[in-house]
Amino acid sequence: MRKKFSFLGIFIALSFILAACSESSQGTTNGDWKPEKSIEIVAPSGAGGGWDTTARMAAKVLDEEGIIDQDIGVVNKTGGGGAVGWAYVANFKGDPYHLFVASPPIIDVPLNGQSEYDHTDFTPIANIIADYGAFVVKADAKWNTLPELFEDMKKDPSSITVNGSSSPGSMDHLQFIRFAKAYGVDITKIKYVSEQDGGELAALLNGSVDVFSTGVAETVEQVRAGNVKVLAITAEERLEGEIFSDFPTAKEQGIDETFVNWRGFFGPPKMDENAKKFYENAFKQLHESEAWNDIRAQFGWNEMFMGSEEFEKFLEEQREEVKELLDELGLTK
């Protein structure tokens, strides 16, 4: 009986070991996690903007290149400069089937008191592109360069109105402020208004505002139509591609400043480490694909891939820079 019991004990022990190995092979401990149902990517803005376009183009490539087998849907959660979308994802703590795309506003907006959530409340997965800002005026405006505009603003900053999609103290506002400050404009007196319902360009064209601070891709069709002109973009050097290569940088006009509108993906709070690694690898494959290279060229985006760890460190550095600027403007909450 003892021998039978001993053999039975060994059999049971081996069963547990094999079960553990099997569980490991399914991804609970070795990083081989894979999604087993559809994935939702949140664009915390309306259709057609930078977040929405990035989310939809990424979902398209992840699907068509076979990088992720499950269906990927993109949903828009608008409001609060991104805050509504972030609050929505925050409800899915630990759920690996809800991602969202973000950019500098996830740092700016919480710092100026418009969101209870910031980047530290979520799981940074990967940054995938660098986009750039553009400062746009009507085609018949008297300014042809950024220094010409800033010279008038130095005389009377409040006489010129700037608008953008972002709320005051967020990206479109701050990217303009950075360059104005570098030129010597009194940034505390700049008049900035926010248009978050798609009326930014209309306000520029009807003369309600003088300058539109936006993203490079958002200018192309209006430039092509002859309605507006780009005084400067915020990149280090000129971009490649039709239309894009015509846009001068601020640097080539003697203003020693740049601004990168990074865009990356986050998961909900407390995302499982194996799920995070899966998505990090998926976005790396997307970054390296020819299909993504074509999309970047189409929208004037540059390469800027960062894995999770590097991305997290980058976000902390960005936070310190933004806080300093918001403190100067008196907008830190």
Estimate to the nearest angstrom the gap between the alpha carbon of 188 and the chain centroid: 26
Estimate to the nearest angstrom the gap between the alpha carbon of 93 and the chain centroid: 21
DSSP state string for 101-141: EE-THHHHHHHTTS-S--GGGSEEEEEEEEEEEEEEEETT-
| Confidence check: pLDDT of 146 > 60 | yes
Q: End-to-end CA distance of the chain, in Å?
A: 75
| Confidence check: pLDDT of 306 > 70 | yes
pLDDT digits (tens, 9 = 90+) for 194-252: 986 678 999 999 999 999 999 998 899 999 999 999 999 999 999 998 899 999 999 99
Instruction: Supply the pLDDT for residue 8.
Output: 45
Residue with tokens 């990517």: 41
Average confidence score pLDDT of the chain? 90
Q: Enumerate the domain spans of the chain.
A: 39-129+262-329, 132-260
In sign, the C-alpha dihedral spanning 182, 186, 189, 190 is negative
Is 68 in a helix, a strand, or coil? coil
Would you state the structure tokens that stand for residue 110, as one six-digit string? 């919480």
pLDDT digits (tens, 9 = 90+) for 316-331: 999 999 999 999 999 9
Give the helix/strand (H/E) hosting 171: helix 171-183
CATH topology of domain 132-260: D-Maltodextrin-Binding Protein; domain 2 (3.40.190)
Architecture of domain 39-129+262-329: 3-Layer(aba) Sandwich (3.40)
Using a 10 angstrom Cβ sphere, with 0-12 exposed, 13-18 middle and 19 or more buried, the burial of residue 302 is middle
Asked if domains 39-129+262-329 and 132-260 share a fold, the reply is yes
Residue with tokens 């092979």: 25
A 10 A CB-CB count for 277 gives 17
Task: Give strand pairing partners of 266.
Answer: 100, 124
- Report the C-alpha gap between 272 and 127 in whole angstroms: 19
Percent of the chain with pLDDT over 90: 82
| Arithmetic mean of pLDDT, 266-292 | 98
With bands split at pLDDT 50, 70 and 90, how would you rate the model's confidence at 22?
very low
Contacts 24+ apart (CB under 8 A), 34-38: 34/69, 34/278, 35/68, 35/69, 35/70, 35/96, 35/97, 35/275, 35/278, 36/70, 37/70, 37/97, 38/70, 38/71, 38/72, 38/73, 38/97
- Closest listed residue to residue 100, CA positions, set 332, 277, 269: 269
Instruction: Supply the pLDDT for residue 30.
Output: 38
